[in-house]
Structure 1
């Protein structure tokens, strides 16, 4: 990691801490700490157990997607690789967008596959996760609307999430629709740009980028022509989202509060939209988004909501950071089959 990357990480970490500090001040630090100290240890452990089930499920999803690219990983290795990928997402700005290149490099190193294929694998997992998440948002909000009035804040959150997802899907669709044009024109444009610098050979850069883009789109086509694996991957994705929703419900129980499961169904994927912020893995932004969503929709005091969210994030953010950091370090220095 060079100085620029370290500086970016430090700045992002400082910003995340600042957001969390503001959240604590607004909610009341003493009350949040009191709720955390009174949390039921058994239910906190259950929250972490459900978070571990989510991590295992999505590692199996990654293994399934990589299988369609003829990249074979054992179950244990797939878990360690995916934990390392989550670690990369959680310590780089913009969540998945920042961590995917690191995760792809890790997959490539461990499996001996091409980097482009590894990037297609981890990117496909992130894209496929959108389908169940949007379905859960619509299902959860729809059910919630039958039992309570949908507030303006929730309406705005759903609208922003749907608009953001629609924009991402549109961009992906356009790139795929005009992939041949992209392969033909983008490498030459980049080659001409970097060729202005003496240290780069424009022809070699153009050829290299063109080859990688062709391999990238060919691998995407291979994933799309495996309907059985795609269905299995989407099913595992849905299961993982359900484990996270269950973890949130149990986290609330741990601090002596309760929320309707329907609220957890839409709150988890909606809050993760804040992961698109330039904070390490959305740290701070996601916690604030959870509090903003859950206080008006559950009627639970803000201090208890914040405490429950911190317990939940301990399982789905900090535990993968610890496990993934170790696995990324180990897998990064030797090849595991």
Structure 2
């Protein structure tokens, strides 16, 4: 016997244009669909590799090196928080490192757990950080966007610096292929930047689309977050962006410091991957880790929590190409790395949210 709610959903879906229309109209159905997609990806990986081998490899990992990987991941978070705080202070905010870190951790928790969070990361991070500072949301959104603009060259400079070492020590043929990929990424990103500068209209429409995604995900959990990402607030942020950019542009020292700190954050993230490799019995390969970790973030465009699937495929591809790992071994390394980095950050962010709620303070997300 079909339950009445399911029968009503099926009937209304057929009448209004099919089950896809029904899913789009139901927030609960969308969340269930995302959970199903995540379960299918993880279950598919376990089915291909074999649950027994995954369990054996992870059980045999060196716990000290795994703890070191988690520590390096937290260190990268601390460094990136300070890089973003430098830009907020340059934009006019008055906030100490500790309080700003609270908002930064909360924002990272949201963008790693909310479907599409990384796609709408600027809006999500600006909301979480402005909750902890005196900066208006519009100026905060611009400061966060500048942070991402500073982060892009940092994410390119670090792998380029590591590429000669990877070419010298990696597998035959890996260097030219990785170099070609790097050149393609730089060309595409520079072309996109030039297009935005010449025709800002599409970029503004994209910002509105990301805000809509934020309202449909984070906005379902927090009415205040939904209001912060409302269409009129986005328009106000775009209108205010010019003045904020001029203020930040005059703070060349802040931009340079943010760049250096962002590079240091990538190096710390690479140390986490190196520690995971050692924990699982592979060479540390720090040059490969420095190359792989920044490049893997390009997979964050996949609209699943923490870029699940895209980040993992990018990271695994670099490991296979540069270290000649078999795909199964590379997949296990990626899984362990994600647990030691994203998993730990989500755990810390979740605990922070629970503690703030339990002590009577509104969660930052």
What do residues 120-159 of structure 1 show as CA deviations (whole Å, max 9, x unaligned)? 1222222211111111222222332234433486466435
Query: For this pair of structures, how many residues does the alignment match?
Result: 312
The Cα shift of 1:265 comes to 1.3
- 1:91/1:217 Cα in 2 relative to 1: closer, same or farther (>3 Å)? farther
SS in 1 for 2:273: helix
Q: Hey, what's the Cα distance between the residues in 2 that align with 1:166 and 1:75?
A: 33
2:343 matches 1:321: no
Counterpart-to-counterpart distance in 1, 2:52 and 2:321: 21
Distance 2:263 2:271 in 1: 12
* Bigger mean CA deviation after superposition, 166-175 or 121-130: 166-175
Q: Which residue of 2 aligns with 1:30?
A: 52
CA contact (8 A) 2:104 2:128 kept: no
Which residue in the other structure is 2:11 paired with?
Answer: none
| 1:150 and 2:202 correspond | no
Quote how far apart the aligned CAs of 1:20 are. Answer: 2.7
- Tell me what 1:190 maps to: none
Pairwise CA RMSD: 3.2
2:286 to 261, 267, 270: 261
- Stretch of structure 1 that moved more, 2-11 or 131-140: 2-11
Secondary structure, aligned partner of 2:244: helix
Q: Write the distance in 2 (CA, Å) between the matches of 1:153 and 1:220.
A: 37
- Is the Cα contact below 8 Å between 1:257 and 1:304 reproduced in 2? no
Q: Does 1:108 align with 2:130?
A: yes
Find the counterpart in structure 1 of residue 325 from structure 2.
300
After TM superposition, the structure 1 stretch with the greater mean CA deviation from structure 2, 208-217 or 85-94, is: 208-217
2:73 to 38, 48, 51: 51
Unaligned runs of 5+ in 1: 188-204
- Indicate whether 1:218 and 2:243 are aligned: yes
Query: Deviations along 1:192-213, whole A, 9 cap, x unmatched?
Result: xxxxxxxxxxxxx999776443
Distance across 2 between alignment mates of 1:67 and 1:259: 37
TM-score by length of 2: 0.75
- Which consecutive unaligned segments of at least 5 residues does structure 2 have? 1-23, 209-229
2:194 matched residue in structure 1: 170
Change (3 A) 1:94 1:221: farther
Question: Take 1:50 and 1:209, find their aligned partners in 2: how far apart are those partners?
Answer: 35
